[in-house]
Amino acid sequence: MIRTRFAPSPTGYLHIGGARTALYCWAFAKKHGGTFVLRVEDTDRERSTEASVRAILDGMQWLGLDYEGPYFQMQRLDRYRALADQLLASGHAYPCYATRDELDAMREQQRARNEKPRYDGRWRPENAQRAGLKPPAGAQPVIRFRNPDAGEVTWHDVIKGPITIANSELDDLVILRADGIPTYNFGVVVDDIDMQMTHVIRGDDHVNNTPRQINIYHALGQPLPLFGHVPMILGQDGERLSKRHGAVSVMQYLEEGYLPEALVNYLARLGWSHGDNEKFSCEKLVEWFDFEHVSRSPARFDPDKLRWLNQQYIKEADNERLAALALPFLQRDGCTVERGAPLASVVGLLKERVSTIEELADAAVYFYRELEPSEALRQQHYVAGIKPALEELQMRLAGVEWNRAHINEAVKSVVAGHKLKMPKLAMPLRVMVTGEAQTPSIDATLELIGREQVLARMKKQLQSFPV
């Protein structure tokens, strides 16, 4: 039975890199009828926040990643203590009383000798005894894992292939702090054992932690899961993706008007491929996903491609759904949507032309409130000589049956009667009524804006028209 997990630390927003790893783990578990677990690694008491836990849960929900859990490490302290005791009893761990100052001084000396700073094992029982060290009265020790001195650790990474790291590279790491809170490398092993993970998949910033964790599995006498390390996401400039490249928080994409299926599709494809497929549903991802096709090199984040995908999904999306998504943006923009055209019809007219819901809402504003045309547009389109034709159109529009076909007929007959070319009339009309030069077809646009508004806006604009 496949079991995978996502184990974020709630110390900020949900990063899209984390979301991508979560997505891969989720898709893999789904594909094999297994279980995907969410575990919140909240042991960093200073940096963990409730708001960040919320952002993780909201982000997972928005992306549609369902899970078993969430589990919280801070609710499992007894378990870490119990397994640390087991390691103490079997001689794989020992208490260390070295103070921070002492450890700083040790590292200072190592650096001075051009050595890599590492814990020197001074509280290993045999060393402490030889040096005559005695536990200071009343001091709470940390627990250190006794890493093997010799040999090497090898695993077959499901993404990167075989990786070997020598034990001489590793030192005796702290597994339990004096306050009983586990360090990352210990908490993660205890949890991955207890939660029966078959695959531990995470960002490749953790490659160096994996041999330490493997040694702990061995010391606990537990079988290993498979490990896989997903390469990082880089910005366009090749630097690790960060805020200065744009939005990196999942929820920010919601706020900017992306559809979750577009972000899921984009993240899935970013660093994994299935043939030439660029646009695919979540169901297809689940059907196709494997670790063999996760790229071994870092992926570059391409905001334009994400926008393109979002545009494709917006085009296909149901109008009622788009209307509900656009509504808060319009309300923020001061539009009273209830009093104007049905929003679903408006978004139906506009959705081919936008890349985000925010753009969709921006494009819909003139259906709900008057937008004053810019001086440049007026100068360009409010040309002398066209006023009589517009006045005639105004009169006709006051009388026609208010639907697209009749509006179109009225425009055409005025164009013909004044021997104009269509744009000569349609452009100023458009600018007068919408404040913009680009809109969907003018008849459909006017129909939705409504007769009363159209005539009022025309009247107002005609007053400032050159003769």
Instruction: Summarize as ranges the residues that interact with ligand GLU (CB under 6 A).
Output: 7-9, 41, 188, 202, 206
Spatial distance between the Cα atoms of 74 and 180, rounded to a whole number of angstroms:
10
Cβ-closest position to ligand GLU: 202
Instruction: Pick between residue 95 and residue 182 the one whose CB is nearest to ligand GLU.
Output: 182
Instruction: Pick between residue 192 and residue 443 the one whose CB is nearest to ligand GLU.
Output: 192
30, 116, 134, 243: the active-site residue: 243
For residue 111, the minimal CB distance to ligand GLU (Å) is 27
- What is the 3-state secondary structure of the chain? CCEEEECCCCCCCCEHHHHHHHHHHHHHHHHCCCEEEEEECCCCCCCCCHHHHHHHHHHHHHHCCCCEEEEEHHHCHHHHHHHHHHHHHCCCEEEECCCHHHHHHHHHHHHHCCCCCCCCCCCCHHHHHHHCCCCCCCCCCEEEECCCCCCEEEEEECCCEEEEEEHHHCCCCEEECCCCCECHHHHHHHHHHHCCCCEEEEEHHHHHHHHHHHHHHHHCCCCCCEEEEECCEECCCCCECCHHHCCCEHHHHHHCCCCHHHHHHHHHHCCECCCCCCCCCHHHHHHHCCCCCECCCCEECCHHHHHHHHHHHHHHCCHHHHHHHHHHHHHHCCCCHHHCCCHHHHHHHHHHHCCCHHHHHHHHHHHCCCCCCCHHHHHHHCCCCCHHHHHHHHHHHHHCCCCHHHHHHHHHHHHHHCCCCHHHHHHHHHHHHHCCCCCCCHHHHHHHHCHHHHHHHHHHHHHCCCC
For residue 212, the minimal CB distance to ligand GLU (Å) is 12
For residue 291, the minimal CB distance to ligand GLU (Å) is 15
Instruction: Pick between residue 5 and residue 92 the one whose CB is nearest to ligand GLU.
Output: 5
- Residues 279/309, Cβ–Cβ less than 8 Å: yes
Instruction: Pick between residue 24 and residue 266 the one whose CB is nearest to ligand GLU.
Output: 24
134 classed as catalytic: no
For residue 203, the minimal CB distance to ligand GLU (Å) is 6
For residue 87, the minimal CB distance to ligand GLU (Å) is 19
For residue 330, the minimal CB distance to ligand GLU (Å) is 37
Instruction: Pick between residue 12 and residue 342 the one whose CB is nearest to ligand GLU.
Output: 12
For residue 55, the minimal CB distance to ligand GLU (Å) is 13
Report how far apart, in Å, the C-alpha atoms of 105 and of each of 100, 111, 114, 131, 141 are: 9, 10, 14, 18, 18
Q: Which positions are catalytic?
A: 243
